[in-house]
Structure 1
Amino acid sequence: MSGARTLRWGVIGYGRFGQLHAAAIARGDATELAAVATASEATAALARSHHPDAAVTTDWRKLVDDPGIDVVDIVAPNHLHAAMAKRALEAGKPVLVEKPLATTLADCDMLVETVDRTGGLLSVGFELRLSVQWRRIKELIDAGRIGRPSFVHVALFRHPYRPGASGWRQSAGEVGSWILEEPVHFYDLAMWYLARSGEPVAVNAQGTAGREPGLIDNLVSAVRFDDGALAVVSQTLAGFGHHLVVEVSGTEGAMRATWSAGHAASTEPCFDLHVGPIGLEAPERVPLDEPSGEVFELAKQIGLTNAAFTEGRTLVDVREGRRAVVVCLEAERSVREGREVPLRFA
């Protein structure tokens, strides 16, 4: 696939986030929303009312097998990602799959094998990397603004998850875990920021059970790197609103960013980013010339993924998606077993 041309996208899943994906594709300069696959006739009717020019079906396989679809965008419940992505890759379609890549290591490995065997393109939806706010942190790190980074802290305080269609987000068998649902973003960011430290070597996590069996409401975890760098990721789902803090410390300075709104899809959040030297000197507020938030990052992700696919590349490849899942699964195991767990990515 090469050249600058409009690609015809098919979206699988039409829940809240699937609707945001579809709308972003429909608005794109070089993307056409050609088809939507939904889980029910009710959501199919909703999709038809929103996008009357798109083909709408309740059979996702029909969408994947349609020769008129150039790109498959998977925004379905987590446990379905692997089977859908595998079929799309084997049909010769580039795939954008929402995080997590899959809910089990076996499914992640199956997708790695499928990508290698087919030569297909699979990009994982870590849209925070594209944010004017969270990406700016990476740019400042790479520019040497804080020296060598050695500590990352990501903390989320938010309202409980919405159940999702048929309650999938409250079922351990379908969501995988609540660590895979949102902290997967934060582990990915932390490893991205601490790339100079190599792969992490261990995770130690504690958590408290929530309202749903087998799912963790409150999490605190420490990811250790071989050179001594440390990433701390915490989350509570027993709060209100949606409030995220990211802090990065290095040998010569530090950064702190906050994002706060009533919910994650807000178009009017409060957000900021400060950077400064270690000590008492007042930090500098970093100017951010675009809004920050998942609605804006998603639109950017669709456009950049579309451009990448036309050039035969991905934004976040299957192995990076697998790596984040490994950390999540081992953090879950650390909570269960009450001990530090080694991380192995091979």
Structure 2
Amino acid sequence: MNPFSYTRPHDVSTAVDELLAIEPNGNPAPAKFIAGGTNLIDLMKENVERPVKLVDINRLPLTTIEELEDGGLRLGALATNADTAYHPLVEQRYPLLSETILAGASAQLRNMATNGGNLFQRTRCYYFYDTSMPCNKRNTGPSEGPSGCGALGGYNRIHAILGTEASDGNVHCIATHPSDMAVALAALDATIRVTGPNGDRTIPIADFHRLPGDRPQQDNTLQHGEIVTAIDLPPKGFPDYHIYLKLRDRASYAFAIVSVAAALELDGDTITDARIALGGVAHMPWRKPEAEDLLIGKPATKETFALAAEALLESAQGYGHNTFKIELAKRAIVRALGQAAKLEPTE
């Protein structure tokens, strides 16, 4: 592991200043915020991340979970995944989020991992973690070594099938975003609250993560020096008809091959509102509102659900080992919507 300096600020503005601190040679120090450290420490051990400075934010006052005036809920960025999943208001009003968090990682990791940190998880692509392999996501320029995407011509069973093309029509990265929690947040239309050197701002969850395009090394739209302070949930939580379906290689402590966060509102057997977010298939949680609109006003049947599944996977592209995920995702969507509508058992 490379040497690094360490600081532990007590307020948000100081934390931002510490991240932006200038080294004696006049260059900004490549610094990282650290909270639970459940992903960053692994990346440092593998020499994928090489910060020269860690800014420990665990003492910042960002652990509160509180109600909002509009009926929504604000999740502190430093509230742990476990505290969030088991919070009474989350369990009662946003059970989709609670169940999704509990489907991820292990109890020990959920006790350490934070809500903000969950958003910043980096891909589990084998080629990203292996510094001897070419990786456009890991390498930021010619000085970083070989460029390219090892997964494109390699073993890509866990990789993306949606949103992989850059503006020039080429594919530079087929990594997937690993978070479960972010998939539920996408389905719930959460808003990310951040602060930084230019003040406070909010980012809709749909605009927070990004597709690889021609900058696969950039996972999100956060600006340099910004820190996530909270996640806001809107009043509508879909408590009655929802499911998080996670398809994986083993029953626990495994990342999704394909996952579906499905939420419905029903009037009798007629769908009045619908949300579908996919995990394990793209560089970010995948939603397509046009596909959801196909469900509105329709009966809650497998035939209706299949229409939405086809629309969601319309642009899917397999790369050999992962081509099976296209059909798997379609079937998972139909199954998840059926379970959300309580047309079939969840076990």
Q: Smaller-chain TM-score range? A: under 0.3
Q: Which has the higher strand share?
A: 1
Q: Which has the higher helix share?
A: 1
TM-score when scaled to structure 2?
0.27
The structure showing larger relative contact order (alpha-carbon pairs under 8 Å, at least 6 residues apart) is 1
